[in-house]
């Protein structure tokens, strides 16, 4: 079977199948160290196994793979080339195998939209799940105007969604200066000719104070971002970064960025000032525990795994449920919280400093290098 005739499955098809709850056998044929850096972990029905292709070809039989010949098998590699040969090999052994086009590189560009319950001023609340990174961005629409929050660099995903919704972009917001992925906010603001909002404290390098090289509109505590008949209120919640903000919509939704996750909080060490920023994070937690209503829905910018999902597959949680289940939010004394952060914060990925500087406009990253720089799931939470 020639590589051109090998049956294939697209990463979007694979993601949608897992989103529906279909059982999917997935064989990752990359080297073990590459699998350890990042692999498909999406969906509760994923049946995952990994074995380098070179080792598979040396097997006397395929019993060690424990593949069920009654069900299809998707084969994934780095960029969708080696998987074609492996797929042909499996088909010759009687398996209904498919090569995933684009491999892991393409998997990291998949965004699944989820439509959440509207609010009085928002006709559409859409959570876009970048499944390869566990990164969440949002499109909020009011009266045909849209605000895009924490976008990734694949702007065509947002263009398509806006067209589907019949909405025109009105603004772009970053809840903080990201370290785990290259933000699409600056490019989106230029492309759509709309303002880019960011807190002033995140517009400079946390490492040496160098001002970022980009245009933005600063926001601060109590400011509002108005569009359509909606208004997002800014709450300054420093700790993960100095300029971390939460965006409050209709008093019922809180887009918390990397400040507050379903099962954790944003790590405070990515600026090189873990202990000082952990104290800021503690005071931000104290504030929201005191002020936020229990029925407010928390919409974070990241997740770590399937247990953080609701039944509708969205990543969201009522604030009163979060305070009961989130180990960080459950700590009631500052010294204990600081000890918990210190004991549960691993060393930051080496790439995160480069990504943050690139997002500040202080480092140029070619598109050909972006894939390698962003590769792998986010590591933004205190583990």
Domain with CATH 3.60.15.10 in the chain: 111-374
* DSSP bridge partners of 95: none
Which tens digits make up the pLDDT trace of 9-36?
999 999 999 999 999 999 999 999 999 9
Phi, psi of 178 (to 5 degrees): -70, 150
Looking at domain 3-107, its CATH class is alpha beta
Q: Which of 226, 251, 295 is nearest to 119 (CA)?
A: 251
Tens of pLDDT, residue by residue over 146-163, are: 999 999 999 999 999 999
Question: How many alpha carbons lie under 13 Å from residue 369 in its C-beta half-sphere?
Answer: 8
pLDDT at 5: 85
1-13 per-position pLDDT tens digit:
555 689 999 999 9
pLDDT above 90 for 327: yes
Residue 298 to residue 70: CA distance in whole angstroms: 41
In CATH, the number for domain 111-374 is 3.60.15.10
Question: Taking the model in full, what pTM does it have?
Answer: 0.96
Q: Is the pLDDT of residue 164 over 70?
A: yes
- For 85-115, how does the pLDDT look when each residue is reduced to its tens digit (9 = 90+)? 999 999 999 999 999 999 999 999 999 999 9
* pLDDT attached to residue 4: 62
**Average pLDDT across the chain, whole number:** 96
Backbone angles phi, psi at 163, to 5 degrees: -65, -45
* Mean pLDDT for the stretch of residues 324-347: 94
- When pLDDT is cut at 50, 70 and 90, the band that residue 78 belongs to is very high
User: In this predicted structure, what is the pLDDT of residue 375?
Assistant: 92
* Short-list 173, 164, 171, CA closest to 115: 164
Element holding 357 (H helix, E strand): helix 351-359
Is the distance from CB of 165 to CB of 124 less than 8 angstroms?
A: yes
In whole angstroms, give the CA distance from residue 327 to residue 348: 21
Q: Which part of the chain has CATH 3.40.250.10?
A: 3-107
């Amino acid at each position: 079977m020639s590589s051109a005739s090998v049956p294939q499955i697209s990463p979007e098809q694979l993601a949608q199948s897992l989103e529906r709850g279909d059982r999917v056998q997935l064989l990752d044929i990359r080297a073990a160290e590459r699998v350890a850096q990042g692999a498909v972990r999406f969906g509760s029905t994923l049946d995952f196994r990994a074995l380098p292709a070179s080792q598979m070809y040396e097997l006397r039989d395929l019993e060690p793979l424990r593949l069920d010949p009654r069900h299809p098998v998707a084969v994934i590699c780095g960029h969708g080339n080696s998987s074609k040969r492996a797929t042909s090999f499996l088909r010759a052994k009687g398996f209904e195998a498919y090569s995933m086009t684009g491999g892991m590189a393409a998997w990291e560009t998949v965004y699944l939209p989820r439509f959440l319950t509207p609010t009085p001023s928002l006709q559409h609340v859409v959570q876009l799940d970048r499944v390869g990174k566990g990164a969440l961005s949002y499109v909020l629409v009011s009266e045909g105007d849209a605000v895009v929050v924490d976008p990734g660099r694949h702007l065509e995903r947002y263009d398509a969604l806006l067209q589907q919704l019949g909405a025109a972009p009105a603004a772009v917001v970053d809840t903080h200066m990201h370290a785990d992925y290259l933000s699409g906010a600056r490019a989106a603001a230029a492309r759509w000719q709309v303002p880019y909002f960011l807190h002033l404290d995140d517009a400079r390098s946390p490492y040496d104070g160098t001002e970022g090289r980009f245009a933005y509109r600063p926001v601060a505590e109590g400011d509002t971002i108005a569009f359509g008949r909606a208004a997002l209120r800014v709450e300054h919640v420093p700790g993960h970064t100095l300029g971390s903000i939460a965006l409050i919509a209709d008093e019922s939704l809180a887009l918390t960025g990397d400040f507050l996750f379903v099962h954790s909080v944003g790590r405070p060490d990515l600026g090189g000032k873990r202990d000082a920023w952990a104290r800021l994070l503690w005071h931000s937690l104290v504030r929201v525990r005191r002020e936020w209503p229990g029925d407010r829905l928390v919409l974070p910018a990241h997740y770590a795994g399937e247990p953080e999902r609701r039944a509708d597959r969205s990543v969201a949680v009522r604030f009163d449920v979060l305070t009961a289940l989130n180990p960080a939010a459950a700590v009631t004394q500052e010294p204990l919280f600081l000890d918990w952060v210190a004991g549960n914060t691993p060393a930051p990925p080496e790439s995160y400093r480069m990504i943050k500087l690139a997002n500040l406009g202080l480092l140029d990253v070619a598109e050909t290098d972006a894939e390698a720089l962003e590769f792998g799931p986010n590591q933004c939470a205190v583990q």
